[in-house]
A and B are shown apart, each in its own frame.
Chain A
Amino acid sequence: MTAPSKGRKLLEVSGLTMDFGGLRAIDSVGLDIFEGEIVALIGPNGAGKTTFFNCVTGIYEPTAGEVMIHPPGEKSRRINGMKPNRITTLGMARTFQNIRLFPAMTVLENVMIGRHCRTGTSILDAILNSRRAVREERETVEKSYRLLKKVGLADVADEFSRNLSYGAQRRLEIARAMATDPFLLLLDEPAAGMNPQETLELDELIVRIRSEDKLAILLIEHDMKLVMSISDRIYVMEYGKEIAQGTPREIKENPRVIEAYLGEEAHA
């Protein structure tokens, strides 16, 4: 069960524990992500996958454990308890399980928000319409528009994001996260609610993002076909504990995982 560790480590989580009152939602989970990898985090509903995401991205402060990041070209940092916006600025961007776009803003503006932490136009710059404001604004629009092209939403750039179809909203969330120039992209159930065709396109998009943008990706997903086809490594959680990790092939044959999943698989 050794990981095919290529490149250097980007994210290193060890002993992560999260308690809500008396309930231990995550019990000492560890996870590593290496450069250029697609890693999947799977598990039955309520296993604590999204809580894990929230701990790593700063929405929750973990009760115990270490979350270290090693951004390429920068020094390593411990990010436990950092504010979410700081973590995003350091280079980890996420999407949400229940889509969280800005509904009354246009598709392009949604992506432009992602550029916020990479630009520095101040209030004074904006009021005086300074050279910096104009330049940054133009760069932001261009970069955002390119990202929209990448996810195939360029022709609806001026539409309100609430008017998009479900699948398109999911892709827009990915584009918005990518606008923050991350080195690691965290996708929380990107294929939820998508039809097979949309899932296929998403599959292709994720692989393309990895190869073109040299991003590492951590995703939570229930769609086993998607997970097995694109992941390099898989972590399995159940009841807040990590029960297995390994390549898709290893996971498929792991009796512990089959046991945990039997109920769900039988339905599917």
Chain B
Amino acid sequence: MAHLKRSFGIGLWFMFLTLPLMVVRVNTLNHEVEWRWSNMIWVGICAFAIAWFWQFSIERRTARRAHVAADAHPEVEKLSLAQRLADDPVLSRRVLIGAAVVAMIFPWLVSTGQNYYHINVMVSALIFVVLGLGLNITVGLAGLLDLGYIAFFAVGAYTYALLSKNFDLGFWTCLPLGGLMGMLFGVVLGFPILRLRGDYLAIVTLGFASITKIVLENWDTVFGGAAGIAGIPRPEFFGMALDGRQKSVYTYYIVLALVALTIVVTTRLKNSRVGRAWMALREDEIACVAMGVDMARTKLSAYALGAFWAGLVGVIFAAHNNFINPDSFTFMDSAMILAMVVLGGMGSILGVIIAGLALKLLPEYLRAFAEYRMLVFGAVMVLMMIFRPQGLINNMRRKYECDTVEGDHDDGAK
């Protein structure tokens, strides 16, 4: 009842708030004012419904929280789907193989003949997945907030563009070079900010991205200025000429291989001594250092490895688009990649992949609702942070096999 009353109040309030916008319209031709009262009723009803649903959801969430808190055994807390998947090696292997097969035959599923729009969309999405996985190392695992990640992407892209333009180097030579350049810039950025934390760190990385963009825009003799660099060659395929669709398919496979490589590498790092040090650094810097972890090394390696993937995939981006200019590397893109990591769940590889695909593919396919898609996008993010602040997939715990004679894992028996 209280909910209904409140929702009613909210409905009325919104009717009042939107009065000038939704109801009053001045017809400048006839010099008269139109009063669209029906709109007001609609606003009232919608606001009422949303407010009621909102309160209902909040109440349910609190109830669930209370239920969990009342539970005396934290061990029997409900396991998430992802956790159950990870705990079952057979099932997870099957799912993995299934996903791999779908990814392999994807170009033939969605395109026939010369229609390769969907492949290109997927290539862009996968590029952002790699970016998300790279940033996941810096932000998700090591907990170093980076608002200027796109700068490393730009470094990779411009490395390829400049090397191919000026020195006629091929794609495959430039791919590792782009990665190494990204890494170098990661270390360059990493050194001055070793002592910074949290907000300060975020501001410095933001500044770094701005500097990069301004240099690219204004140093036209080298970087082509705002007009960018055009005519960047596509990846070569043993000297064979490829037609439009084949080129896209080929790029698709390259970027898919890169995604696979990123997944393997980040998974291994995450489950190693190095990854544990990153996570410990994220959790508590002082304790981490007091346990003998070298902070400078750990932070620098997190920056360098995060930036490496951005540089690498930047080369592919330049090759895929044939053209780059500073407008491809805005703060909005950094924010988008960060959103992938946060929405996916800090440090979760699977979560970042899902979030990355969703964030890039949904706006693309929601073009029909072009005016509203950013609105929907924003609303989804807000709701997500309220109802699932830990991200899509989180709270994954890794279990270790231990084969000491006397040591037997029996956590399930408890």
Binding site for B on A (CB under 8 A): 57, 59, 83-85, 88-89, 93-94, 96, 100-106, 108-109, 112-119, 121-123, 125-127, 129, 133, 136-137, 140-142, 145-146, 149, 154-160, 163, 176-177, 180
State how many angstroms separate the Cβ of A176 from the closest Cβ of chain B.
6
How many angstroms from the CA of A118 to the CA of B399 in the assembled complex?
22
**Contact status B286-A106, CB under 8 Å:** no
State how many angstroms separate the Cβ of B298 from the closest Cβ of chain A.
9
How many angstroms from the CA of A83 to the CA of B74 in the assembled complex?
38
CB contact list, B361-402 vs A, under 8 A: 395, 397-402
Query: Chain B residues near A106 (CB, 8 Å)?
Result: 397-399
Query: Chain B residues near A159 (CB, 8 Å)?
Result: 74-75, 397, 411
**Contact status A123-B288, CB under 8 Å:** no
State how many angstroms separate the Cβ of A149 from the closest Cβ of chain B.
7
CB-contact partner of B404 in A121, A145, A163, A177, under 8 A = A145
How many angstroms from the CA of A113 to the CA of B285 in the assembled complex?
12
Query: Chain A residues near B283 (CB, 8 Å)?
Result: 101-105
Quick one: CB contact mask for B239-280 with A, threshold 8 Å, 1 for yes?
000000000000000000000000001001100111111011
How many angstroms from the CA of A101 to the CA of B291 in the assembled complex?
11
State how many angstroms separate the Cβ of A185 from the closest Cβ of chain B.
12
State how many angstroms separate the Cβ of A47 from the closest Cβ of chain B.
22
Query: Chain B residues near A118 (CB, 8 Å)?
Result: 292
Instruction: Check if B105 is an interface residue, CB within 8 A of chain A.
Output: no
Of listed B273, B274, B277, B411, residue having the most chain A CB within 10 A: B273
Query: Chain A residues near B400 (CB, 8 Å)?
Result: 108, 141, 145, 157-158
**Contact status B293-A116, CB under 8 Å:** yes
Instruction: Check if B407 is an interface residue, CB within 8 A of chain A.
Output: yes
State how many angstroms separate the Cβ of A135 from the closest Cβ of chain B.
12
**Contact status A140-B290, CB under 8 Å:** no
Closest to B293 in A: A116
Of listed A102, A106, A114, residue having the most chain B CB within 10 A: A102
Binding site for A on B (CB under 8 A): 74-75, 265, 268-269, 272-277, 279-280, 283-284, 286-295, 301, 305, 395, 397-404, 406-407, 409-411, 414
Closest to A136 in B: B273
CB-contact partner of B268 in A129, A136, A163, under 8 A = A129
How many angstroms from the CA of A108 to the CA of B75 in the assembled complex?
15
How many angstroms from the CA of A59 to the CA of B284 in the assembled complex?
14
Given A121-B272, A123-B269, A137-B272: A113 touches B293 (CB 8 Å cut-off):
yes
How many angstroms from the CA of A123 to the CA of B411 in the assembled complex?
31
Query: Chain A residues near B414 (CB, 8 Å)?
Result: 155
Query: Chain B residues near A57 (CB, 8 Å)?
Result: 290
How many angstroms from the CA of A227 to the CA of B176 in the assembled complex?
60
Given A112-B276, A142-B404: A85 touches B397 (CB 8 Å cut-off):
no
CB-contact partner of A102 in B273, B279, B403, under 8 A = B279
Query: Chain B residues near A146 (CB, 8 Å)?
Result: 404, 407
**Contact status A102-B284, CB under 8 Å:** yes
Q: List 25 A-B contacts (CB under 8 A).
A: A59-B286, A59-B290, A84-B286, A94-B290, A96-B286, A96-B290, A100-B284, A105-B280, A108-B400, A109-B279, A109-B398, A113-B277, A113-B291, A125-B272, A129-B268, A133-B273, A141-B401, A142-B402, A142-B403, A145-B402, A145-B407, A149-B407, A155-B411, A158-B411, A159-B75
Query: Chain A residues near B279 (CB, 8 Å)?
Result: 102, 104-105, 109
How many angstroms from the CA of A101 to the CA of B286 in the assembled complex?
10
Query: Chain B residues near A114 (CB, 8 Å)?
Result: 291-292
State how many angstroms separate the Cβ of B391 from the closest Cβ of chain A.
12
CB-contact partner of B292 in A85, A96, A125, A149, under 8 A = A85
How many angstroms from the CA of A37 to the CA of B280 in the assembled complex?
31
CB-contact partner of A85 in B268, B289, B406, B411, under 8 A = B289
How many angstroms from the CA of A113 to the CA of B409 in the assembled complex?
20
**Contact status A127-B399, CB under 8 Å:** no
Of listed B265, B269, B272, B411, residue having the most chain A CB within 10 A: B272
